[in-house]
Structure 1
C-alpha cells in the first residue's frame, strides 16, 4: 500500500480504552510530543488521553463508558474534562477533513491519486501513485503544502504519470471530490488503528472497514457494509423502545412530578449505553458459553461497524446502539455495565451536581434493579412487539428528545388512586349544555365504575385542597416525621429504605434449561437458610427441594447484598391462582415492615402476570400476618380450581386473597393516607361554610342517656346521612342483582310521581339548568345503563337514583310540585329497596 508524505499532525500512540483494568487500546491518539518521526500515514486525531478516554473510542476489553457522558447536564452547567476531550477529538477530525478539502485542486488530485489505480494501460497493476520526491526521513512539517506534485510527475512504482492515476477524476464535481477526500482521511485513520490493534477480532473488523473504504475511493462509491451481519435494526423492539415500554409499564401510574425522574434516569441509562464500549469476544470467552459467545461476536462486529467506528469515521453510516440492538445484546452486557456504572458513580459522587446526586446515587440503583428483572424475565411484556401503554409513543419521544413526557393532568393530583379523581367528562370540558354523558364504547364496566366514584365535589376545590397537602413520600424533608408518626403505615420504613437503595426485591428461581448465575445460586442458598431458621418445624430437606425446584420461584428480599427474607411460591397460571409455600423474614430484621412490603411486591408481580388469587395454608402463628395482608378464610376461587394442585398441610388453615389489578399495592398505604387527608380537609371546608349556630343539647341534663344522631339539630345540613340503608347484603350473583334492579326500576317508573324525571331536562324548558346542575341524571339514562349492565353493584344504582332527587331539590324551590315529587319518589324507591333486601329495614 502507498501512503502520502507525512504532514504536521503529531505522531501516534495508543491509550487504554476501558473502564476497569488496562488493556490494549481500540483507538489511536496523538502523542503529547511532536518531536518523534511521523508514521508513513496521516495521523488519526486524538481520540483519548491516557486514563480519560472519551466515548468515541472503540471497545476495551473490560467494557466501560466515559463518566462525563453519563449524567444529564442542565444548560449552563460546566462541561466535564472527558466530554471536552471528546468534543476536541471530534473537532480535530473535522479540522483535518476541512484542511484536506481546502487544498488546491492539484493538491486534491495528488491526494486522491495515492488511492487511485493506474489507468495508463491494462497491464499496469499499480494501485496508487507514489511521490518520487518523498524523502526517506521527512520532517514533521507538511512539506507537501509547499511542494505540490504536478500531473506530469511519474509514479515511483510504475513510472506512469500522476495524470494516468487521476484521469477518472477530470469531470468529477468539487462536492464529490470533497466526499472522497473525507473517506481518504478515514482510511488513514483506520490504517493506524489496524497497525496498533492487538486484539485479533477487532483488528479483523478494522481491516475489513479499511479495505471497504479504500475500495469506495477506487470505485467512487458510497460505503455499504455487506455480508452476513445484516442491516440495522438487528432486533425488534430496540433497547430504546424496550426502556420506553419499561418506564410506561412500571411508572405510568405515578403523577407527573414523580414520573419525570424516571424519564431522566431512563435517558441517562440510554446515553450511557450509547457510549458504552463492549468487551472483546476474546476477553469474554473465558466466562461465556460457546453458543452465547458466537451470538455475542456477531453483535460485537455489528457494533464496531455501525456504532463505534462511524463515530470517528463519518463516511460510514452511524447508528445509536440503543436504536439498532435489542434485548439480546442488553442481556449480554447488562450485569457488567450495571456494576461498573454504580462503582463509577460512587467514586465520582463528589463531582456530581448536587441536584443530581440524590437521583443518581439513590434512585438509579433501584431503577437498574427493576430494569434487570424485566430484561431477564422470560414473560416480561415490555419486549412484546404489540406492547401497548397509555402513552408509549410519548414516552419514547421523551427519551429521544429529552422533552418531558408530562400529560395535561393537574400536577396537584399526585398520589391519588384512580378512584379519587376520574377523567374529565364532556360536560366538564365545555361541551354543549344538556348533552348527556354517554358511556365510551371502548370503556369497560369497571372503567365506568371508576369514573362514577368522583362525586359532586368541584374539581377546582379538589385541586385547592391537594395543594395544601404534602406527600411525605415525595419530599425528603418529611421523612423523619412520617416514620416517627404514630399513624405511619406498617410498610413506610421499608418503602423509604427501598427508595434509598438499602433493600432490593428480586424474583429468583432455579433452572434446568440454563445455568443460573452465581449470584442467583447464592440468593437461593440464603433463602433456604432463612426459611430453615424461621420455620424450624419444617424439614430442611423439604425446604431445599422446593426452593430449588424449577417450578417454584421466590421473591427475595436483599439487604446489603444478603438475603434477609423471601416468599416462595408456585404459580398455577392455567388455574388462575398461586400457592404461597414459605414466607419468612430473618428474626433480627422483623418488625420493620419488611413482611408487608414483601407481600405487596408479590401482589404487584402477580398482577403483571395476570394471576389474581393467592392461596396458602397458614399455621397458627402465621394467620395474624396473613390477615393483615388481606387474606381471609373465605376463599373466592372455586374449589375445583385448586383441589389436587395445592399442597395440604395438617393442622394448617387454608386462606385466600383476591387481588385488585387497579391497586398499586406497594404505594397503597400512601394513597389511602392521602385520601384520608383529602376527605378531612374537605370536611373542614364544609364545616367552615356552615354559619348557622344551634343551641347546645339540653336533653342530657334531663337524664337522657342516648339520642339518635339524626335528631341532633343541623346534622343533616352538614351532609351527614344515615348509613343503615347500605347495610343490606350485596347479591353475589350478578344476574340476580340485575333482575332485582330491573324490577325496582320498572316500579319506580310506574310510580305517579316519577313523571318529571322520565327524560333529560330540556334546555328550552330550563335554560340555566345545566349551569346549576353539574351532574344531571334521569330515569331514561338509568334504564340504558341498566340494560348495558353498568350497575355491577347496588351502590352505583342507588347513587344515580339519589342524584335525581338531589338535583331536583337543588334546582327547584321547596314549594314547587317538582320538589314534592322528588320527596315522594325517594321514599317509594327506598321502600322498594328494603323490600328487595338490598338495604336494611
Structure 2
C-alpha cells in the first residue's frame, strides 16, 4: 500500500490515501483477471476449496511434486472443483478476487507486529477462508454491528457546526470555514488510526471504558474502512459517514496535532491565495470544534440543523455521500470520481422546491418599503466590504475605530489564545491538564480579587456544580469566569470574573464575556445574573448588564449568592446574535450603509438652493423638511405627524393647514396674536404692540403673517407651519408677565392647536 502521499509524511504521520491504493489494487486485479484463463483461475481457487469426494475432509488442493493429485487426500484437482462446474464466469471471477484477498491478508498477518491488529487480520482471513470453503456470506457483522454506528455522522455534525456557528458571519467567513471543514473531513477520512495498544499507551489516564470504546471502534474502522480499501470482497464505507461524535471525540486530539504539523511542513505546496485558510481559518476551526466536542448537549449532534445556503448544496450533497472531499492544493491528494455526483446545476434543481416554499415565508416576514435597497445591491455591497476587510485586516487592528475585542478576536483566530469551559468532576478522574487550569484560574481570581477569601474562591472553583471559562495563552491561564448554571430557572450566575493585571486593556475581558454569552445561547440559557462590587459595575455595564432585572424574583431568589455592598446586575441574551462576532458585524453593517449612501448620492446628482427660513428667525427645522433629503431616502419615524408623512401632496397640505389656521384665528383666545395697531388705546396690548425689546421685536410673528406665508405656499412641510405658530406663543411669554391675560391666552390657544394637529393625524 505504498503511495506518494505516505512517502511525503514524516515517520509519525498517519495520513494514508486509502482510496488511492484501493483504486490501484482494483486496476491490478482487473488486469490480472483479464490476463488469466478460466482454467488458471480455477487452479488458483482449488487451493482454498474442500474436496468433494465422499468422506474426504481435505480443505485445499496441495499438489504433489510432478503429480496431479492432492498431497493431503491423494484426490485429483477436479475433485476440489466439482462444485464450480455450473458457476458462471462472473462467479468464478468473484471467487478469484476473494482468493487474492485471502493471500493479501495472510501476508499482513505475517508482517504485522501489533497483536491486536494482527488478531483483526486473522479474523478477516478466517472469514474469507470460510466463505470460499463453504460458499457462505463474507459480510462483517456480529457484535461489531452494521454501519452507520452513530447518528448524525461526522460529516453531518461538522456541517451542522459550520452552518450553525458561521452562517451569520458573512459569506467570506462562511466560505473559508467551509473550506477548512472540507480539509479536516478529507484528512479524517484518509487517516490510519493508531492501534488500541498505542492509544492506551498515549492516554494512560483515560478510563477503561474509553479504552474499550476505542478498541471497538478501531475494530469497526479496520473491518469496514481500512481493510476494504485493498480487499474488494468487503464492502467499503467512508469513516466520516459511519462514525459519529463518540469516535471523533476519541481521535480528535492526535488528529488535530498532526494535521497542524503536516500543513506547517507542507505549506509551500499551498497556493499563496489559499494560505490564509491554513494559517488562519484551519487552526480556528480546529480550536472551535474542540470546544464544541466538550459540549454534550450541543445542537451540532442533532439531525435537524438547517444547512441553509443553497450555494453549497451540491457540495453538501456529495459530502454526505462521502464524496467531493478532495483537497486540490496538494498534488498527492487524489479526488474521488463518481458517476452520480451532483453538479451545481442539479443542486439548483434539487433545491427549487425548497426555495419556492421559503419565498412565501420570507415575503410574509419582511415587508419592503418604497425606496429600500434591493437584495442584489446589498449583497454586492457586502461582498465589497468583506473584500476590503480581508485586504486590510492588519491595518484594522490599529484603527481608531477598532472595537474593544478586535485584538483578542484576531489572536483567537490565529490560535494565540484559546477558550475552554472546564469543571471538576466526581464521576471520573479529571485530566491533569484540567486540574492545572483550575488551579491557575483560582490563582488569577485570588490575585485580582484580594477582598475575597482564598478558601472561598478555591471551594467554588473546584465545586463540580460550578464551571469555569478559562482563557489560555502560552499554555497558562490569564483570565477566566466562574459561573453556576441553573437551566431549570433559565439563568446563570456569574460568580467570579477576572483577567491578569498584565494582560488587561487588550480586549480579553470583552471577548471572554462574549464567548460565555455564545456558550449560554447554545445551551438555551438566556439570562445572566451577578453581584458586582463598586469596581466591577463599570465593566459589566460595558458588557450589556444593568440593574434592571428582567427575571422575576422568584426565579432566582434563594439560588444565587448575595454579597454585602454589591449591586445585583443582569443581562438578557438574544439567541439570534453571535456575540463573539457582534462588533465586526456591526462594523460591517455601518460600512455597507456608508457605501449605500455614497451610491445613492451619486445616483441623485441634483443640487438644491440654500434654505431661507433661518433669515426669518427659525433656529432649527426637521431634517426631512430640507429639500432633497426625502428624495435621498430619508424617513422620519415620528408618529405624531404620520398623517402628514403619508400626505405630502402640496395641495392637500395647504388645505389642512388652512383649516387649522382659520380655527386658530376664530378662537376666543387668539386676540393677543392678531395684527392690531399700537395706537388703538381702547384695546388691550397684543404681542406686537407690547413695546418690549425681547425676542418678539427681533422675530415678530402674528396670525396675519402666517396667513400670508400660507398663501405664498411657504409651508412645504407641517414642521415649518408649527414652528411659526409656536413662535407666537414663545414671543407672548417673553413679552408679558406669567400671570398676565395674554400668557393665559397663549396657553389656551397652544393646547387647542396641539389638539387640532392630533385630530387631523387620526383621521
1:98 aligns with 2:31: yes
Structure 2 counterpart of 1:636, from 550, 554, 576: 550
Distance between the aligned counterparts of 1:231 and 1:373, measured in 2?
A: 30
Contact 1:497/1:503 (<8 A) preserved: yes
1:596 aligns with 2:510: yes
Query: What's the secondary structure of 1:184's corresponding residue?
Result: helix
Contact 2:528/2:570 (<8 A) preserved: yes
| 1:402 counterpart residue number | 324
Structure 2 counterpart of 1:126, from 50, 53, 58: 58
Contact 2:159/2:307 (<8 A) preserved: no
1:543-692, aligned counterparts within 5 Å? Answer: 543-687=457-601, 689=604, 691-692=606-607
Q: Once the 2 structures are TM-superposed, how far is the Cα of residue 406 of structure 1 from its aligned partner?
A: 13
Query: What's the secondary structure of 1:644's corresponding residue?
Result: coil
1:429-828, aligned counterparts within 5 Å? Answer: 448=365, 451-452=366-367, 456-459=371-374, 462-463=377-378, 466=381, 469-471=384-386, 474-475=389-390, 477-687=391-601, 689=604, 691-695=606-610, 699=614, 706-709=619-622, 714=627, 717=630, 725=638, 814-815=650-651
Q: Deviations over 1:771-823 (max 9, x none)?
A: xxxxxxxxxxxxxxxxxxxxxxxxxxx9xx77xx76665xxx655x7997999
1:307 aligns with 2:307: no
| 1:285 counterpart residue number | 200
Structure 1 counterpart of 2:251, from 309, 321, 333: 333
Distance between the aligned counterparts of 1:621 and 1:111, measured in 2?
A: 85
Q: Once the 2 structures are TM-superposed, how far is the Cα of residue 705 of structure 1 from its aligned partner?
A: 9.4
Distance between the aligned counterparts of 1:469 and 1:499, measured in 2?
A: 22
Distance between the aligned counterparts of 2:70 and 2:650, measured in 1?
A: 112
Distance between the aligned counterparts of 2:546 and 2:198, measured in 1?
A: 55
Contact 2:448/2:501 (<8 A) preserved: yes
| 2:15 counterpart residue number | 65
Distance between the aligned counterparts of 1:518 and 1:372, measured in 2?
A: 17
Q: Deviations over 1:505-529 (max 9, x none)?
A: 2211111112222222222122112
| 2:154 counterpart residue number | 239
Q: Once the 2 structures are TM-superposed, how far is the Cα of residue 347 of structure 1 from its aligned partner?
A: 3.0
Query: What's the secondary structure of 1:114's corresponding residue?
Result: helix
| 1:209 counterpart residue number | 124
Q: Once the 2 structures are TM-superposed, how far is the Cα of residue 283 of structure 1 from its aligned partner?
A: 2.5
Structure 2 counterpart of 1:166, from 67, 71, 81: 81
CA 1:380–1:824 in 2, change beyond 3 Å: closer, same or farther? Answer: farther
Q: Which runs of 5+ in 1 are unaligned?
A: 1-45, 70-82, 135-151, 409-422, 430-436, 729-797
CA 1:661–1:832 in 2, change beyond 3 Å: closer, same or farther? Answer: farther
Q: Once the 2 structures are TM-superposed, how far is the Cα of residue 682 of structure 1 from its aligned partner?
A: 3.9
- The number of equivalent residue pairs is 641
CA 1:473–1:559 in 2, change beyond 3 Å: closer, same or farther? Answer: farther
| 2:97 counterpart residue number | 182
Higher helix share: 2
Distance between the aligned counterparts of 2:636 and 2:126, measured in 1?
A: 85
| 2:174 counterpart residue number | 259
Q: Once the 2 structures are TM-superposed, how far is the Cα of residue 720 of structure 1 from its aligned partner?
A: 8.9
Q: Once the 2 structures are TM-superposed, how far is the Cα of residue 191 of structure 1 from its aligned partner?
A: 0.6
Q: Deviations over 1:696-720 (max 9, x none)?
A: 65957x9x69444569753764669
Higher alpha-carbon Rg:
2
Distance between the aligned counterparts of 2:318 and 2:148, measured in 1?
A: 21
Q: Once the 2 structures are TM-superposed, how far is the Cα of residue 100 of structure 1 from its aligned partner?
A: 4.3
Distance between the aligned counterparts of 2:417 and 2:125, measured in 1?
A: 50
Distance between the aligned counterparts of 1:331 and 1:461, measured in 2?
A: 42
CA 1:479–1:181 in 2, change beyond 3 Å: closer, same or farther? Answer: same
TM-score using structure 1 length: 0.68
CA 1:171–1:595 in 2, change beyond 3 Å: closer, same or farther? Answer: same
CA 1:522–1:350 in 2, change beyond 3 Å: closer, same or farther? Answer: farther
Name whichever of 685-694 and 156-165 sits farther off: 685-694
Query: What's the secondary structure of 1:160's corresponding residue?
Result: coil
Query: What's the secondary structure of 2:528's corresponding residue?
Result: strand
1:111 aligns with 2:61: no
Distance between the aligned counterparts of 1:244 and 1:502, measured in 2?
A: 25
Contact 1:552/1:569 (<8 A) preserved: yes
CA 1:465–1:329 in 2, change beyond 3 Å: closer, same or farther? Answer: closer
Name whichever of 716-725 and 234-243 sits farther off: 716-725
Q: Once the 2 structures are TM-superposed, how far is the Cα of residue 692 of structure 1 from its aligned partner?
A: 3.9
Query: What's the secondary structure of 1:494's corresponding residue?
Result: helix
Contact 2:9/2:262 (<8 A) preserved: no
Distance between the aligned counterparts of 2:157 and 2:519, measured in 1?
A: 18
Distance between the aligned counterparts of 2:634 and 2:23, measured in 1?
A: 74
Query: What's the secondary structure of 1:285's corresponding residue?
Result: helix
Q: Once the 2 structures are TM-superposed, how far is the Cα of residue 349 of structure 1 from its aligned partner?
A: 2.7
Q: Which runs of 5+ in 2 are unaligned?
A: 327-341, 346-353, 661-716, 719-752
Contact 2:444/2:478 (<8 A) preserved: yes
Q: Once the 2 structures are TM-superposed, how far is the Cα of residue 216 of structure 1 from its aligned partner?
A: 1.6
Q: Once the 2 structures are TM-superposed, how far is the Cα of residue 657 of structure 1 from its aligned partner?
A: 1.3
1:191 aligns with 2:106: yes
Structure 2 counterpart of 1:200, from 115, 121, 124: 115
Q: Deviations over 1:468-488 (max 9, x none)?
A: 85248840x312331222111
CA 1:406–1:158 in 2, change beyond 3 Å: closer, same or farther? Answer: closer
TM-score using structure 2 length: 0.75
Query: What's the secondary structure of 1:536's corresponding residue?
Result: coil
| 2:294 counterpart residue number | 376
Q: Once the 2 structures are TM-superposed, how far is the Cα of residue 345 of structure 1 from its aligned partner?
A: 2.3
Compute the RMSD of aligned alpha carbons.
4.1
Q: Once the 2 structures are TM-superposed, how far is the Cα of residue 174 of structure 1 from its aligned partner?
A: 0.9
Contact 1:119/1:165 (<8 A) preserved: yes
Query: What's the secondary structure of 1:118's corresponding residue?
Result: coil
CA 1:824–1:217 in 2, change beyond 3 Å: closer, same or farther? Answer: farther
Q: Once the 2 structures are TM-superposed, how far is the Cα of residue 459 of structure 1 from its aligned partner?
A: 0.3
Distance between the aligned counterparts of 2:39 and 2:624, measured in 1?
A: 108
Query: What's the secondary structure of 2:233's corresponding residue?
Result: coil
Distance between the aligned counterparts of 1:711 and 1:116, measured in 2?
A: 95
